[in-house]
Structures are given as structure tokens and as C-alpha cells.
Amino acid sequence: MAQESSILITGGAGFIGSNVVEHLLANGYQNLTVIDDESLGRLKRVDRPGVTCVKGDILDEALMASLLAGADAVIHLAADTRVIDSIENPAYNFEVNVVGSFRLLSLARDAGCQRIINASTGGAILGDAPPPVSEELPARPLAPYGAAKLAVEGYCSAFAGAYGMKTLSLRFSNVYGPLSFHKGSVVAAFYKSLLNGRPLTVYGDGEQVRDFLYVGDLVAGVRRAIETDATGVLQLGSSVGTSINTLIALMAEATGRREIPVDYVPARQGETRITWCCIDRAREVLGFEPGTRLAEGLANTWNWFSENVTVFK
């Protein structure tokens, strides 16, 4: 896709969206529209030349129809991404993630916007599958969030098959990095606890394993996705499994602390125990190659959090 193409980014003021906008601008894209309801992110973070900022809800059909009218492609990031909250309130998660995404696909079809990059997830969709997980494994969601994301992948596939749309779902692993000030994911939550002088809270014994992907590597993959006609589903991760206890040890190195206080509490139902992903297909299709080691990414992220400490006080 040409750099002069018009790209609509839903949820573009959030953690990943803000990084996507910065990356696209740095790579010559100058016709970006960001819609965000600012429930978590702030549009002022992406308000710069080349970006049109719109405060709104993706469930607002009239607004979305007007934004899609001139769009060549959509990067669909808007979602309710909280796994535990989806267990407590599955109806809300369904409304935002499934209904909102279905309406987006329908309106994009009507507007003639063919290219949709859909942000999905791996671990929550596949459940406790033996790692490394891949696109070929059967889906066994353990929480409504994973079920909703699986449903959206299904609709993306259906709209590609029925209407010829070029839809690609990218299954993100555990993404971390700068600009994640509002995130409740593990790296951001741990760093905010350290900045506020609180012990880290670990659910379970800390031996649960995740695939941590630096946001700079992720957004490069998203850009490559926009620049291809690839369809279907691709895993984007680091392809390395890291336990939470190992993560904490690396955080101690990144922050220069000899010891980090940790409170271990009972594990939470609905969370996957061990997962990391195979990225062979993304390497082949997108040329995706994450190059940021976890220790380096954690140091970069800590530097950003430290420089923006007033946000967390």
C-alpha cells in the first residue's frame, strides 16, 4: 500500500495505537485518521501533522460510516482487552469486541474499503495448548475475551470469502514498551507498582510463561501487514517463552535493584498457564523478525516510565 493511502486507525490513541501512529509517520505515511473514545488513551498523544484525531465510539454507525468513506485501509485496534473483566462482564466485552467489529466490517464493505488489519490475540484464543502455539492449532478459549476475538477472526474470514475483502488478523502476544502508561498488562503493572513503592502482585507461583513482544517490533509488523495483500491469520510474537519469575529478575537488572518485593497470591481462573508462539508464517509472509531482546526492551520501557513518573502518581 502506498504511503499516500488514507488509513483509519481505531483505538489509535491507546498504547499500541500511539506507537503505530509514530511508526507510520516515521516511515512516510501522512494521511492517518485516529478514532478513540479516550477511555484509556489520549488523542493529544497522536495529534500532530499528518494525523486527523476524532473522539468517538466505534459503535457510532453514522460516525464510522463517515470516517470509512475515504479510507483505503483500516488498522482495527479498538477493543476491550481485559481478560478478567471479560469474565466478570462478558456482555460488555461481546458488545465492544464482536458487535463493534462486525459493524466496522459491514460499514467498510459498504464504503468500498477492502483492506482490514484486525488486532487479535493468540493465548486467549488457543487456551492451554502445548507451546509453541501456531495458527494451525484448534481454538479453545478460556475466557469470553478469547471467544470474542475468535468470533471477530471468523467474521474477518467470512467477509474475505463472501465479499472479497482483504482481511488479515494479527494475533499479538504480550506486548510491552513505551507509552503503556494506562495498561494493566504485566510489564506496565509491575513498573507502575515499583514507581509507587508497592510490591509486585503475582497471581500463582510465577512459573506461568508468556511470550513478551516489544512494541517497536510489533508496529513494524503491523506496517508490513498494511504494505502486503496477505490475508488470514498470523501470529506476531517473540517466539520465546519467559516465566514471570524470570521477567521479574530481568526487571531488577533493568531498574538497577538488587531485590524486588513480590506478593504471590492465588492464580486466577481463565488465564492460560504456559504459552509462547511460533512466528514462522509471519516471517515468511511479512518478513517479520523481532530484534529486541527482552532485557533491552525492559530497559527501554523502564527509562520511559521513569521519565514519565508523574503520570503514575
Active site residues: 145
Query: Which cell goes with 238?
Result: 517473540
Burial degree of 228 (CB within 10 A; 0-12, 13-18, 19+):
middle
Query: Which cell goes with 32?
Result: 492517518
Q: Could you give phi then psi for residue 213, rounded to 5 degrees?
A: -120, 125
Computed on alpha carbons and rounded to an integer, the radius of gyration of the chain in Å comes to 19
Residue 217 CA to residue 214 CA, distance in Å, equals: 6
- How many helices and strands in the chain, by DSSP H and E? 12, 13
* Sequence-ordered list of residues with C-beta below 8 angstroms from that of 70, at least 6 positions apart, any chain: 6
Sheet holding 7-10, edge to edge: 51-55, 32-36, 7-10, 73-76, 115-121, 166-172, 232-236
Q: Is 188 helix (H, G, I), strand (E, B) or coil?
A: helix
| Other beta carbons within 10 Å of 125 | 27
In degrees to the nearest 10, what's the CA dihedral of 89, 131, 181, 251? 130
Within the chain, residue ranges assigned H as helices are: 15-26, 61-68, 83-88, 90-94, 100-111, 123-126, 144-163, 186-195, 215-226, 244-255, 280-286, 294-307
| Other beta carbons within 10 Å of 2 | 9
